[in-house]
Each structure stands twice: as C-alpha cells, then as structure tokens.
Amino acid sequence: MRAPVTSPNAVNIDEAVVEHATVKNLIGEIEAMEVGEELYDAKMRVLGEMVKHHIKEEEHEIFPKAKKSKIDLQALGEQLAQRKMELKNVMIGLVSL
Ligand SMILES: [Fe+2]
C-alpha cells in the first residue's frame, strides 16, 4: 500500500481523484435513468452537493496553493480552456469521446 499522493503543500490529490471518479460514476448512472425514475431526484441532489463540495475545496484550498506554486498557470489555463471546448463539443453532439 502506497502513501497518499499529496502536493508539496499537502493538498490531498488522492481525495480529489476519488471525488472526480465518484462524480463521473454518478453522472453515468443518472444518464442511464429516466427522469422521475426511483432515486433519480436523490441522485441529482447528491450530484449537486458533491460538485459544490468539490468546487469549494478547489477554490478555497487547491487554487490558492497552486497560485503560490511555480506551476505555469497560463499554460494550465489554456489546457483547461481547450478541454472545456472539447467537452462542450461532446455535450452538443459535435464529437464523441
Ligand atoms: Fe476537480
């Protein structure tokens, strides 16, 4: 068993990875459901709560530490913008994953 992966500023990267995977799994479950199906509303609420929690951690813990690091935030921002565009194209059906 390995030690948890953390940044030099002790951000728990493993926890963020698990949160991302959990959200993706829940989205997959919701996409396979019909609106109004049993647990659909509960899963939507839990998804919203999980995403809000995750965003709060990123904005209040991870991003401030990233700003203090030597990471090239300009390059990272460009990569994120590119990925956002790719995912938007997937969402509107222009391309598939
Ligand atoms: Fe995230």
Q: What are phi and psi of 51, to 5 degrees?
A: -65, -40
3: confidence class by pLDDT, cuts 50, 70, 90: low
Separation of CA 47 and ligand 1 centre (Å): 13
What is the per-residue pLDDT across 30-86, written as a single tens digit (0 to 9) for each? 999 999 999 999 999 999 999 999 999 889 988 888 888 888 989 999 999 999 999
In the reported structure, the alpha carbon of residue 1 is separated from the centroid of ligand 1 by a whole-number distance in angstroms of 24
**pTM score:** 0.63
Domain boundaries, the chain: 13-71
Confidence at residue 16, expressed as pLDDT on a 0 to 100 scale: 86
Rounded CA gap, 38 and 43, in Å?
10
Judge whether residue 96 has pLDDT over 80. Answer: no
Residue 86 · residue 40 · CB < 8 Å: no
Distance 34 CA to ligand 1 centre (A): 27
Residue entry with tokens 């995977």: 21
Give the per-residue pLDDT at 11.
62
